[in-house]
């Protein structure tokens, strides 16, 4: 669909301007990709161009030197742990707010909205002290609980706004067939809501994968750190070997790129519809 129709001559200038911004967006990332395939000796003579000699050796080197098999396992554990906890509590709450309309549901919505806007710095330190006393520092479950709480309001609203459009007749029919509320939730609401569950899972998973501040604060044990804080340390450790650092960065980005290309519409609509998560 064309909104503002442009004349032919204008079209060319449109493409030129947009092209320049596309280069600004993508060229830095391309340099990173080039560098990941360059031998370390080439950086002195060819810092930002295409590699003259393509090598794949940087990837296994970075993988071994950074112990990335352990790191990937840590990050996957955090992502899937958060998805299980966050999406289940959010779909329960989303279902209730959409279909059961308990008294005071508005208060819950307001509470969660206020919760979203609280800056992390407000509760970071007391949370740290609380987690220390509960023995949750330097544990994955501690971080999973934090990530679930941070992302649950967004997921709850997203799921609620989808479930609210499911026709009530479906639930009435299930009720007549003798389904109680839990069965209505598991057999009717959840199977019909898979698109929104997938969107929420992608957005929440991305947030956890990329998260830095809480990972930095709550996990100091090198063996338990996720990929974001490890890459931060790795980039300082190997500051003189940019080939390794670039390869390590690409390893962090690769899963995101693959999922993004598969589910770009979902990612974009999920991330912008929330509009409330950084």
Question: Contact at 8 Å (CB) between 99 and 162?
Answer: no
* 52: contact with another protein by CB under 8 A: no
Among 52-60, 61-69, 109-117, 163-171, which window interacts with another protein (CB under 8 A)?
Answer: 109-117
Angle at 45 between CA 39 and CA 46, to 5 degrees: 65
Query: In whole angstroms, how close is the CB of 169 to another protein at the nearest point?
Result: 19
Compute and round to an integer the Cα radius of gyration of the chain.
23
Q: What span, in angstroms and rounded, lies between the C-alpha atoms of 141 and 122?
A: 22
Query: In whole angstroms, how close is the CB of 232 to another protein at the nearest point?
Result: 5
* 162: contact with another protein by CB under 8 A: no
Q: Which of residues 179-238 bind another protein (CB under 8 A)?
A: 181, 185, 206, 209-210, 212-213, 216-217, 228-229, 231-232, 235
Beta carbon nearer to another protein, 181 or 198:
181
Helices (H), 96-241: 105-117, 120-133, 140-163, 168-176, 181-183, 190-192, 194-210, 213-218, 227-237
Query: In whole angstroms, how close is the CB of 110 to another protein at the nearest point?
Result: 11
Residues 60-84 as b/e (b if ≥16 CB within 10 A, e otherwise) read: ebbbeebebeebbebbebbbebbbe
* 125: contact with another protein by CB under 8 A: yes
What is the token pair recorded at 26?
């993508």
**Total residues at interface with another protein (CB under 8 A):** 95
Q: Which of residues 242-261 bind another protein (CB under 8 A)?
A: 242, 245-246, 249, 252-253, 256, 260
Q: Which of residues 77-96 bind another protein (CB under 8 A)?
A: 85, 88-90, 92-93, 95-96
Among 37, 68, 171, 267, binds another protein (CB under 8 A): 267
Question: Contact at 8 Å (CB) between 184 and 174?
Answer: yes
Query: In whole angstroms, how close is the CB of 256 to another protein at the nearest point?
Result: 6
């Amino acid at each position: 669909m064309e909104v503002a129709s442009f004349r032919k001559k204008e079209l060319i200038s449109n493409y030129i301007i947009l092209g320049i911004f596309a280069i600004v967006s993508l060229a830095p990332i391309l340099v990173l990709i080039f560098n990941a395939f360059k031998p370390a000796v080439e950086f002195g003579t060819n810092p930002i161009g295409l590699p003259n000699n393509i090598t794949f050796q940087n990837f296994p080197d970075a993988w071994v030197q950074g112990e990335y098999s352990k790191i990937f396992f840590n990050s996957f554990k955090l992502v899937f742990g958060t998805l299980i906890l966050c999406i289940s509590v959010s779909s329960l709450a989303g279902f209730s707010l959409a279909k059961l309309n308990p008294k005071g549901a508005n208060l819950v919505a307001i509470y969660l909205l206020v919760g979203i806007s609280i800056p992390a710095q407000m509760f970071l330190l007391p949370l740290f002290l609380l987690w220390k006393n509960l023995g949750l520092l330097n544990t994955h479950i501690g971080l999973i609980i934090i990530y679930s709480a941070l992302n649950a309001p967004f997921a709850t609203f997203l799921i609620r706004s989808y479930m609210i459009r499911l026709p009530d007749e479906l639930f009435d029919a299930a009720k007549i067939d003798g389904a109680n509320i839990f069965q209505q939730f598991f057999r009717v609401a959840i199977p019909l809501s898979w698109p929104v569950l997938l969107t929420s899972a992608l957005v929440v998973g991305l947030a956890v994968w990329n998260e830095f501040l809480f990972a930095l604060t709550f996990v100091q044990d090198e063996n338990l750190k996720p990929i974001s804080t490890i890459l931060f340390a790795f980039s300082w450790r190997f500051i003189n070997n940019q080939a390794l650092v670039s390869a390590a960065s690409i390893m962090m980005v690769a899963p995101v790129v693959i999922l993004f290309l598969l589910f770009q519409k979902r990612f974009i609509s999920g991330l912008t519809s929330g509009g409330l998560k950084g």
